[in-house]
Amino acid sequence: MLAVEDWAEIRRLHRADGVPIKVIARSMGISKNTVRKALRDEGPPRYERAVRGSLVDAVEPQIRELLRVTPTMPATVVAERIGWEHSIRILRTRVSDLRPVYLPPDPASRTTYEPGELAQFDFWFPDIELPVGFGQTRTAKRLPVMTTVTGYSRWSGGLLIPSREAADLYAGWWQLVSTQLQGVPKTLVWDGEGAVGRWRARQPELTGDCQAFRGVLGTKVYICKPADPEAKGMLERLHDYLEKSFLPGRTFTSPEDFNTQLAEFFARANARRMRVLGCSPGDRVAADRAAMMSLPPVPPEVGWRKTMRLPRDHYVRLDSNDYSVHPAVVGRRIEIHADLERVWVTCEGATVADHARVWAQHQTITDFEHTVAAKLLRQGRGDLLRPVAEAVTGEEVEVRSLGVYDQILGLVDELVDEEVS
């Protein structure tokens, strides 16, 4: 067979240089008919193996008849019906080639999204035990990772949060939207999370917290139907990718360490080329964010928030942990706030406690200044309870107003003098 190099040279000599066929044949040592064939062919010469028969050819009519009646019949059953005694591999190959002839066409539809149209959210539960301090560890079921994927760019992100409680869920949801997505897609998809919404009476029903959250963002929240994993297939593939590519060989020392490593992993993952896109998510995320709605000027109220009167032991409980509060506001109305990282308490607009949030459980977190202030206040209160002993001597004892201690501890700017008789 003529080599491709010779075929190309023959065509060049004849078409570009005008060399006659017989001269080409004589100079290259080939026949004139070979030269003429090379000039007639539209493509380079190819080697084609001669078609040989197969053992399956003799039983193909029987295979066709079986598939005509039952197009989905497995190859092993076909082999049993026709009494096949040879290799099942060549029979299976022929059955696979013939089966589409008898099956109705079943094309798959490709789901496409417009920029800024949609983002999916769900929880991933990695099979790990994570240290959370105070000698405690927590399993994945009690320490979920909230994940997200955008429909258009396939850009993904994730964040470990302390719990699936509504307060932590919405705090994590807002952090993903505001810091990672950096915009609000027109539709946010969830898979029936209890704190977000569920299908009831054959229709989705959102919780009051979700209605308030989406109202501030000005977006739509879609709840997937039960037993419909294909509705969030992008996230299912992401979770599988995290299981196989993120977890193996890694160790984590704390929730902060987990989130740091996860953020670094997503930065690399969003830069890798995806076959379905023909590019990386990072190449398309700019268009995705440009089409999203802007973040609201006033962020939604998320996280823990409750009011109470501070008890005499000047501690408040949040997520099974007790946090100390400045004792100067004992008995007064306080407001407790918490997000994923901090716990702080205010009283009439002034901050009277500020702690790092502890992810361990059943712990007592005390600020040293609060302990000192409580001791001073107890001493001052004791003076109020000892006027009788001094009265015997005829000495007049000064009884101080509690406002004095507010000024000493920096809770008020000016001291209002009060006369106590």
Find the length of the chain: 421
Gap between the Cα atoms of 80 and 166, Å rounded: 58
Candidates 188, 191, 184, 172; CA nearest to 221 is: 188
Chain segment 27-83, per-residue pLDDT in tens = 989 999 999 988 888 888 887 777 678 889 999 999 999 999 999 999 999 999 999
Confidence of residue 230 (pLDDT cuts 50, 70, 90): low
Encoding tokens for residue 84? 């096949």
What's the rounded mean pLDDT across residues 249-254? 93
Longest dimension (CA), the chain: 143
pLDDT in tens, 209-223: 999 999 999 999 999
Residues in contact with 309: Cβ distance below 8 Å, sequence separation at least 6, in sequence order: 331, 332, 333, 334
What pLDDT is attached to residue 413? 57
Indicate if the pLDDT at residue 260 is higher than 50: yes
| Strand ranges of the sheet holding 118-124, from the earlier edge strand across to the other edge | 156-160, 145-150, 118-124, 187-190, 220-223
In angstroms, the CA 366 to CA 149 distance is 40
Q: Specify whether the backbone of 133 is left (phi greater than 0), alpha (psi in -120 to 50) or beta.
A: left
**pLDDT for the residue numbered 395:** 47
pLDDT(7) > 90: no
**Tens digit of pLDDT for each residue in 347-393?**
988 999 999 999 999 999 999 999 988 888 888 764 544 443 343 33
Tokens of 397: 């004892």
| pLDDT at position 410 | 63
CA dihedral 63, 65, 67, 68 (to 10 degrees): 160
What DSSP element (H or E) covers 168?
helix 166-175
**Predicted model pTM:** 0.66
Pairing of strands 342-347, 333-338: antiparallel
| Collapsed DSSP state (helix, strand, coil) of residue 8 | helix
Answer whether 322's CB lies under 8 Å from 336's CB: no
For residue 385, what are its two tokens? 């309870």
| Sequence-ordered list of residues with C-beta below 8 angstroms from that of 338, at least 6 positions apart, any chain | 167, 303, 304, 305, 318, 319, 344, 357
Confidence of residue 416 (pLDDT cuts 50, 70, 90): very low
Per mean pLDDT, which range of 87-96, 364-373, 389-398 is the poorest? 389-398
Residue 93: C-alpha distances to residues 26, 103, 217 (Å): 49, 16, 55
Spatial separation of the C-alpha atoms in residues 38 and 4, rounded to whole Å:
10
